[in-house]
Amino acid sequence: MIRIKILLLTVTLTGIQSWAEKQPNILWFVVDDMSANFSCYGEKAIETPNVDKLAQEGLLFTEAYATSPVCSTFRTALITGMYQNSIGAHHHRSGRCKNRIPLPDGVRPIPEIFQEAGYFTCIGSGLKNFDFRSLPTKTGRRGKTDYNFDWDTEIYDSHDWSKRNDNQPFFMQVQLHGGKIRGAAEKHYDILEKRMVSQFGLNPTPHDLVELPPYYPNDSVLLRDWATYLDTVRITDWHVGQVIERLKKEGIIDNTVIIFFTDHGISHARGKQFLYDEGTHIPLVIKGPGIPFGRKRQDLVEHIDIAALSLALAGIQIPPKMEGQNILSSQYKPKEFVFAARDRCGEAADQIRSVRSEKFLFIKNFFPERPHLMPSNYKDTKLIVKRLRQLHDEGSLNSLSKQLLFSPTRPKEELYLYQEDKWQTKNLAELSKYKDILQNLREQLDQWISKTKDPGPETLETYILETEDQMSSTGNKVSRDNYRRNSEIYKKWFREGK
Choose the weakest-confidence range: 5-9, 233-237, 266-270, 456-460.
Answer: 5-9
- The answer to whether residue 223 is domain-embedded is yes
CA–CA separation, 458 and 85 (whole Å): 12
Amino acid 475: pLDDT: 83
Average pLDDT rounded to a whole number, residues 191-195: 98
Longest dimension (CA), the chain: 70
pLDDT tens digits, 295-336:
999 999 999 999 999 999 999 999 999 999 999 999 999 999
- Position 362 confidence tier, pLDDT thresholds 50, 70, 90: very high
pLDDT tens digits, 88-104:
999 999 999 889 999 99
- Phi first, then psi: what are they for 220, rounded to 5°? -60, -35
Average pLDDT rounded to a whole number, residues 201-207: 97
User: What is the CA 41 to chain-centroid distance, rounded?
Assistant: 16
- The answer to whether residue 133 is domain-embedded is yes
User: What is the CA 85 to chain-centroid distance, rounded?
Assistant: 16
pLDDT tens digits, 452-494:
999 999 999 999 999 999 888 888 888 999 999 999 999 999 9
Q: 20 or 307: whose pLDDT is higher?
A: 307
CA–CA separation, 481 and 466 (whole Å): 16
Question: Is residue 3 pLDDT above 50, yes or no?
Answer: no
Asked if residue 362 lies in contact with residue 333, where contact means CB atoms within 8 angstroms, the answer is no
Question: Is residue 7 pLDDT above 80, yes or no?
Answer: no
0.85 surpassed by pTM: yes
CA–CA separation, 492 and 488 (whole Å): 6
3-class DSSP state of 95: coil
- Position 342 confidence tier, pLDDT thresholds 50, 70, 90: very high
- The answer to whether residue 344 is domain-embedded is no
Amino acid 494: pLDDT: 95
CA atoms within 13 A on the CB side of 139: 1
- The answer to whether residue 306 is domain-embedded is yes
Helix (H) or strand (E) holding 281: strand 281-287
Amino acid 11: pLDDT: 41
CA–CA separation, 151 and 108 (whole Å): 9
- Position 22 confidence tier, pLDDT thresholds 50, 70, 90: confident
3-class DSSP state of 184: coil
pLDDT tens digits, 425-434:
999 999 999 9
Amino acid 476: pLDDT: 87
Number of domains in the chain: 1
Question: Is residue 418 pLDDT above 90, yes or no?
Answer: yes
- Position 12 confidence tier, pLDDT thresholds 50, 70, 90: very low
Asked if residue 55 lies in contact with residue 260, where contact means CB atoms within 8 angstroms, the answer is no
Question: Is residue 206 pLDDT above 60, yes or no?
Answer: yes
Asked if residue 30 lies in contact with residue 261, where contact means CB atoms within 8 angstroms, the answer is yes
- The answer to whether residue 254 is domain-embedded is yes
- The answer to whether residue 407 is domain-embedded is no
Amino acid 295: pLDDT: 98
Burial 31-52 (b: 16+ CB within 10 A, else e): bbbbbbbbbbbebebbebbbbb
Amino acid 193: pLDDT: 98
| Domain ranges, residue 318 | 2-329
CA–CA separation, 435 and 439 (whole Å): 6
CA–CA separation, 235 and 48 (whole Å): 9
**What's the chain's average pLDDT?**
95
Quote the percentage of the chain above a pLDDT of 70: 96
Q: Is 355 exposed, middle or buried (0-12, 13-18, 19+ CB in 10 A)?
A: buried
- The answer to whether residue 311 is domain-embedded is yes
- Identify the CATH number of the domain in which residue 136 sits: 3.40.720.10
- Position 9 confidence tier, pLDDT thresholds 50, 70, 90: very low
Asked if residue 341 lies in contact with residue 376, where contact means CB atoms within 8 angstroms, the answer is no
| SS3 per residue for 414-450 | EEEECCCCCCCCCCCCCCHHHHHHHHHHHHHHHHHHH
Report which of 415, 405, 414, 412 is spatially closest to residue 214, judged by C-alpha positions: 405
- The answer to whether residue 6 is domain-embedded is yes
Question: Is residue 129 pLDDT above 90, yes or no?
Answer: yes
Asked if residue 366 lies in contact with residue 352, where contact means CB atoms within 8 angstroms, the answer is yes
- Phi first, then psi: what are they for 215, rounded to 5°? -90, 0
